[in-house]
Amino acid sequence: MLSVRVWGSRGSIPCPGASTVEFGGNTACLEIRADEKLSIVDMGTGIRTLGEWLLDKDCKKGPIDTDIFVTHTHWDHIMGFPLFAPLFMPTTKLRIRGPVSYEDDTMESIIGTQLSYRYWPVRLSDLAAHLEYDQIKETILDLGDGLRVSTKYLNHPVLCLGYRFEYQGKSIVTAYDTEPFRNLFPTNPQDPHYDEDAAREGELAAREENEKVINFFRNADVLIHDSQYTSSEYEADKIGWGHSTYEYAIAAARKAGVKKLVLFHHDPHRTDKQLAAFETEFREMVTGKTGMEILMAREGLIVEA
């Protein structure tokens, strides 16, 4: 069985409080299970509670030996790392994989910098776990026991990867933080910078990249997709911020033939009441038009592929 459990569903910054109890206030962290084989996607603040759960459950069966896939190194996706309890056990083995940064710093230095006295009382050298770092690009990884992971670059202000987990004919795909690729060249002939050939090539390139992403989603049993904004919010002043809309996520999932869509990376200002209303609205939107199931990500949600 292939499944995903949500430990953190928020984007940008943790937002605990009375208005975020139902859907949760922790930043991105997912637990992927291929039967008993564990993989983790992102180390937002949700990884703290995942770590405590693993100590109580998995450690009774043996040492933690797993892969952590980092979508990108923005802080909300790595800030929970210092509080991941298995780090302090010498029997723990972690392979931390993620995209190559466009900067000179390695993933190890970016993540490890959090564990320095200027930010945190525990240093990286104080950790007992065995850590390995693997900076990856678009690739296919065989994790053994029949589990395969393929990666795809997404559209975000820093290099960001989507992950597709495949096991025994089932698939779970993550696609956040991302927004649709768009033409970066002026398309208005009245614009002084307009170039007809550049505009045409830019349109073609954006279309091709968006098709590649759709193909990455193709026939997924579960797609966990960025949906930080509504279309009106996005069009008003969020273009280029690297996040998608509910409407785009639904349209992309339907085009790709996805069976279950999990709307993810909630804006920190979004309340439980708003998210519940959106969930109802979007479910009604697709009722009778497609067999796709729509779920709003909430902490503790488990979805089977």
Inform me whether the pLDDT recorded for 289 exceeds 80. Answer: no
Residue 197's pLDDT band (cuts 50, 70, 90): low
> Are 184 and 176 a contacting pair, CB within 8 Å?
no
What is the model's pLDDT at position 112? 86
Residue that wins the pLDDT comparison between 78 and 110: 78
The percent of residues in the chain predicted with pLDDT above 90, rounded, is 78
Inform me whether the pLDDT recorded for 202 exceeds 80. Answer: no
Question: Span 174-182, mean pLDDT?
Answer: 94
Inform me whether the pLDDT recorded for 128 exceeds 70. Answer: yes
Inform me whether the pLDDT recorded for 248 exceeds 90. Answer: yes
| CA–CA distance, 182 with 207 (Å, rounded to integer) | 8
What is the model's pLDDT at position 107? 86
What are the pLDDT digits (tens) for 151-174?
Answer: 999 999 999 999 999 999 999 999
Question: Span 176-183, mean pLDDT?
Answer: 91
Inform me whether the pLDDT recorded for 187 exceeds 90. Answer: no
Residue 173's identity, in one-letter code, is V
Paired tokens of 285:
């939107």
Gap between the terminal Cα atoms of the chain: 7
Inform me whether the pLDDT recorded for 186 exceeds 80. Answer: no
Question: Span 98-117, mean pLDDT?
Answer: 84
Residue 241's identity, in one-letter code, is W
| CA–CA distance, 72 with 76 (Å, rounded to integer) | 10
Residue 104's pLDDT band (cuts 50, 70, 90): confident
Residue 233's pLDDT band (cuts 50, 70, 90): very high
What is the model's pLDDT at position 45? 98
| CA–CA distance, 253 with 246 (Å, rounded to integer) | 11
SS3 204: helix
What is the model's pLDDT at position 225? 98
> Are 91 and 58 a contacting pair, CB within 8 Å?
no
Inform me whether the pLDDT recorded for 102 exceeds 70. Answer: no
Burial class of residue 265, CB neighbours in 10 A (0-12, 13-18, 19+): buried
Query: Given the structure tokens 């969020």, which residue do they identify?
Result: 238
What are the pLDDT digits (tens) for 36-85?
Answer: 999 999 999 999 999 999 999 887 788 999 999 999 999 999 999 999 99
Q: Considering only CA atoms, which of 246, 247, 257 is closest in space to residue 214? A: 257
Q: Is the peptide bond before 267 cis (omega within 30 degrees of 0)?
A: no
> Are 297 and 23 a contacting pair, CB within 8 Å?
yes
Residue 241's pLDDT band (cuts 50, 70, 90): very high
Question: Span 223-241, mean pLDDT?
Answer: 96
